[in-house]
């Protein structure tokens, strides 16, 4: 095998994939702002004031200053805000007065308006004091939830410029005391049901970190109609239906949690990284204009279509009958399937896989043994990853949580990246030793088995389906046409998905679950690097 060629291909495509994982292809580029465009500058201005000091529930004076500022901003937008006070509230051992702020805008032509409202939600309190490692810290709330509040205000600003075209009205709910158990939202939903009775779509805006792509990470159940709306109008979409499954397993909640089972809606957030989340690093100096711009690119077109289109005049118009399976691939966009459609795709991929194996029946016993070896290798990668995370926690003083959220390890991202690079190099070295086709076929056989199991158990399997589909297709095309160039193209497609997905997964799960990320990365890398190795080998 041409050793230099293999590593050159891996290095060049890895560089492209790192660019993808940093959001260079999934986030909107910086452009000169126009009067009608989503203004990052205006959002920054709001965030700067909101995050000028700590304003958690134990900082009542500073929280009052933020509240007064937001009241003045809503008045600038042409509404007299309503304040909903909930005295003597409790959460996380604290007692406080919670105050929600509500702005309401009806369509200009009320006579022909529908009975639905767009509800945009963000919270204006920051994180209360806590000790992620040794020192007790407070957040300044620049991202969580200055991103949400600023983006919500800017979205309303854009919508109001075409108010005469509205069929539906807009309601902005800025909640208090979200950080201590969604107290403001819980109180509102319990004591002020009139705020929700006419809501046809909820857009909740959150942040779990200060940078990176903005992820649509959660939807309400029965999301088929919502995803059609999102697919048709949001720009630079970034989402996976798998995150709905993962998020339900994690001990995290947002204001959206309170209403998602009753109202159609979507939940957006940045997820990079945990050490900027709920700490003093969540400050104005660390905000990302790229992330703010990505909020606007996804949320504003979605909101504009909902308020303008008479189709959504009925508040039940977005209540769907089934959940979709969907995911995005950088440069290629959003793939959105019905359950039946996704099943058909899986069947077609498995047939492709079977066709490829029929064309390459040699040494099948060896390929089957390699399927078992790849599974064993993935389990070893999982164990090595968790041991490395444990050692990192001992060195840094962070508290280790097996497959749990770990914060306070300042070199966690470097550790995860280093482990991923080491994994790729080990896999490349395995292929360099020869028998490339046997090893790659073994990988694909394992992927096919996992494809069936995951689809039956979870209904989600994109991290095995994509490498299985692409590898089977390009190998078949190569065998039929004789053109080996299909193989590096296949590797590039797998890595486009893999690096973006694995980056999001590692940021969401943190270094405490790096072993699980490496296990999944083994399947993706074994397929992608196997295609590169096959391209560089003399095997036919």
Q: pLDDT by residue (tens digit) across 97-116?
A: 999 999 999 999 887 777 89
User: How far is residue 108's CA from residue 347's CA, in Å, rounded to a whole number?
Assistant: 51
Q: How many residues does the chain have?
A: 540
pLDDT of residue 281: 95
Q: What is the tens place of the pLDDT at every residue in 216-264?
A: 999 999 999 999 999 999 999 999 999 887 777 666 789 999 999 999 9
* Inter-helix orientation angle 486-509/3-21, to 10°: 50
User: How far is residue 128's CA from residue 145's CA, in Å, rounded to a whole number?
Assistant: 13
User: How far is residue 483's CA from residue 534's CA, in Å, rounded to a whole number?
Assistant: 12
pLDDT of residue 440: 95
Q: With bands split at pLDDT 50, 70 and 90, how would you rate the model's confidence at 30?
A: confident
> DSSP character for 314?
S
pLDDT of residue 251: 67
Percent of the chain with pLDDT over 70: 97
Determine how β-strand 265-272 pairs with β-strand 199-205: parallel
Predicted confidence (pLDDT) at residue 133 exceeds the cutoff of 60: yes
pLDDT of residue 539: 66
Query: Which helix (H) or strand (E) covers residue 101, if one does?
Result: strand 94-105
Once rounded to an integer, what is the mean pLDDT over residues 60-83? 97
User: How far is residue 169's CA from residue 166's CA, in Å, rounded to a whole number?
Assistant: 7
Which residue(s) pair with 121 in the sheet?
Answer: 173, 204
Return mean pLDDT, the chain.
93
DSSP, collapsed to helix, strand or coil, labels residue 90 as strand
pLDDT of residue 243: 87
Q: What is the tens place of the pLDDT at every residue in 266-314?
A: 999 999 889 999 999 999 999 999 999 999 999 999 999 999 999 999 9
Q: With bands split at pLDDT 50, 70 and 90, how would you rate the model's confidence at 462?
A: very high
Q: What is the tens place of the pLDDT at every residue in 14-24?
A: 777 777 767 77
Range in 41-45, 276-280, 324-328, 362-366 the model is least confident about? 362-366
Q: Are 123 and 178 in contact (CB under 8 A)?
A: yes
Predicted confidence (pLDDT) at residue 425 exceeds the cutoff of 80: yes
User: How far is residue 199's CA from residue 210's CA, in Å, rounded to a whole number?
Assistant: 30
pLDDT of residue 270: 96
* Sheet of strand 199-205, all strands in order from the earlier edge strand to the far edge: 82-91, 94-105, 169-175, 117-123, 199-205, 265-272, 211-219
Q: With bands split at pLDDT 50, 70 and 90, how would you rate the model's confidence at 1?
A: low
Q: What is the tens place of the pLDDT at every residue in 134-158?
A: 789 999 999 999 999 999 999 999 9
Once rounded to an integer, what is the mean pLDDT over residues 180-187? 97
pTM for this structure?
0.94
Once rounded to an integer, what is the mean pLDDT over residues 349-370? 86
Contacts 24+ apart (CB under 8 A), 480-487: 484/535, 485/535, 487/531, 487/532, 487/534, 487/535
pLDDT of residue 434: 82
Q: Return the beta strands (E) in 379-430 as ranges.
A: none
Report the chain's terminal Cα–Cα distance, integer Å.
12
Predicted confidence (pLDDT) at residue 365 exceeds the cutoff of 90: no
Higher pLDDT, 133 or 301: 301
Which residue(s) pair with 201 in the sheet?
Answer: 118
Q: With bands split at pLDDT 50, 70 and 90, how would you rate the model's confidence at 4?
A: low
CA angle at 179 for the pair 206 and 78, rounded to the nearest 5°: 60
Higher pLDDT, 198 or 250: 198
User: How far is residue 89's CA from residue 69's CA, in Å, rounded to a whole number?
Assistant: 23
Once rounded to an integer, what is the mean pLDDT over residues 385-412? 94
Once rounded to an integer, what is the mean pLDDT over residues 487-507? 92
pLDDT of residue 21: 64
| Token representation of residue 86 | 């909930």
Q: Are 500 and 365 in contact (CB under 8 A)?
A: no
Q: With bands split at pLDDT 50, 70 and 90, how would you rate the model's confidence at 536?
A: confident
User: How far is residue 497's CA from residue 489's CA, in Å, rounded to a whole number?
Assistant: 13
The position carrying tokens 């979200």 is: 178
Higher pLDDT, 532 or 33: 532
pLDDT of residue 358: 82
> DSSP character for 513?
G
């Amino acid at each position: 095998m041409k050793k230099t060629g293999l590593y050159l291909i891996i290095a060049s495509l890895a560089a492209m994939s790192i660019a993808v994982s940093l959001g260079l292809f999934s986030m909107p580029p910086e452009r000169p702002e126009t009067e009608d465009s989503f203004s990052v500058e205006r959002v920054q201005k709001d965030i700067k004031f909101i995050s000028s000091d700590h304003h958690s529930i134990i900082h009542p004076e500073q929280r009052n200053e933020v509240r007064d500022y937001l009241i003045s901003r809503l008045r600038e937008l042409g509404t007299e805000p309503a304040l909903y006070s909930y005295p003597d509230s409790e959460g996380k051992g604290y007692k406080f007065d919670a105050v929600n702020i509500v702005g309401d805008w009806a369509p200009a032509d009320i006579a022909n308006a529908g009975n639905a409202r767009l509800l945009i939600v963000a919270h204006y309190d920051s994180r209360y004091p806590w000790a992620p490692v040794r020192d007790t810290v407070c957040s300044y709330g620049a991202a969580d939830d200055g991103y949400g509040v600023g983006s919500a205000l800017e979205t309303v600003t854009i919508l109001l410029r075409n108010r005469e075209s509205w069929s539906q009205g807009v309601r902005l709910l800025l909640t208090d005391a979200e950080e201590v158990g969604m107290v403001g939202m819980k109180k509102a939903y319990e004591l002020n049901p009139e705020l929700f009775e006419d809501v046809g779509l909820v857009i909740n805006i959150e942040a779990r970190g200060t940078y990176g792509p903005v992820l649509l990470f959660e939807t309400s159940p029965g999301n088929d109609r919502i995803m059609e709306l999102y697919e048709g109008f949001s720009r630079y979409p970034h989402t996976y239906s798998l995150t709905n499954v993962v998020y339900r397993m994690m001990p995290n909640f947002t204001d959206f949690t309170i209403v998602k089972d009753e109202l159609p809606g979507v939940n957006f957030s940045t997820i990079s990284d945990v050490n900027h989340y709920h700490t003093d690093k969540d400050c104005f100096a660390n905000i990302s204009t790229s992330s703010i711009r990505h909020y606007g690119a996804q949320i504003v077109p979605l909101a504009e279509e909902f308020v303008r289109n008479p189709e959504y005049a009925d508040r039940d118009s977005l209540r769907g009958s089934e959940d979709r399976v969907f995911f995005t691939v950088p440069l290629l966009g959003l793939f959105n399937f019905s359950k039946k459609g996704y099943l058909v795709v899986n069947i077609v991929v498995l047939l492709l896989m079977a066709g490829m194996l029929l064309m390459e029946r040699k040494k099948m016993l060896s390929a089957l043994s390699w399927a078992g070896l790849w599974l064993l290798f993935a389990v070893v990668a999982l164990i090595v990853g968790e041991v490395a995370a444990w050692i990192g926690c001992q060195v840094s003083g962070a508290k280790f949580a097996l497959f749990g959220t770990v914060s306070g390890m300042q070199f966690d991202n470097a550790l995860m990246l280093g482990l991923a690079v080491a994994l790729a190099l080990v896999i490349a070295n395995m292929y360099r030793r020869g028998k490339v086709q046997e090893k790659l076929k073994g990988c694909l056989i394992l992927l096919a088995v996992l494809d069936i199991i995951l689809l039956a158990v979870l209904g989600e399997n994109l991290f095995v389906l994509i490498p299985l589909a692409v590898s089977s297709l390009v190998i078949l095309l190569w065998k039929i046409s004789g053109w080996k160039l299909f193989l590096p193209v296949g590797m590039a497609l797998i890595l486009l998905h893999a690096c973006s997905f694995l980056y999001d997964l590692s940021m969401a799960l943190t270094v405490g679950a790096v072993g699980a990320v490496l296990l999944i990365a083994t399947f993706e890398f074994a397929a992608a690097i196997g295609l590169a190795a096959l391209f560089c080998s003399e095997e036919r």
